[in-house]
Amino acid sequence: MSLDVYLSAVRRTTVYDANITHNLAEMATALGIYDCVWRPDENGFTEAALLIEPLRRAIAKMKANPDKYRAFDSSNGWGTYKNFLPWLEKYLAACEANPDATIEVSR
């Protein structure tokens, strides 16, 4: 006979973090992702899996019509299409890799 002892714990671990300027809020609104990216807590977006499709659609829109979204570039250079597109692509990749991750934001 033997004794088997196990200690198991589920600990909260950050699997992705990123920062982006609020100057992109207008572009995000035009893309239809402001609510899920800037205010997920207020709009029912609780897990990363829920962001996958909205982010995919927004990225596709940006790539299909870059000039439309470049028009939202901040005049001071803080908040541009050039920076937002790769940021969204990385966020999407993180959501796809961790679909069960809980979304938290700090505004």
For residue 88, with 0-12 CB atoms within 10 Å meaning exposed, 13-18 middle and 19 or more buried, which class applies? buried
Q: How far is it, in rounded angstroms, from Cα 53 to Cα 39?
A: 16
pLDDT of residue 3: 81
Predicted TM-score of the model (pTM): 0.91
pLDDT tens-digit readout, 1-53: 878 787 677 788 999 999 999 999 999 999 999 999 999 999 999 999 999 99
HSE (side-chain half, CA atoms, 13 Å) at 44: 0
pLDDT tens-digit readout, 75-98: 999 999 999 999 999 999 999 999
pLDDT of residue 6: 75
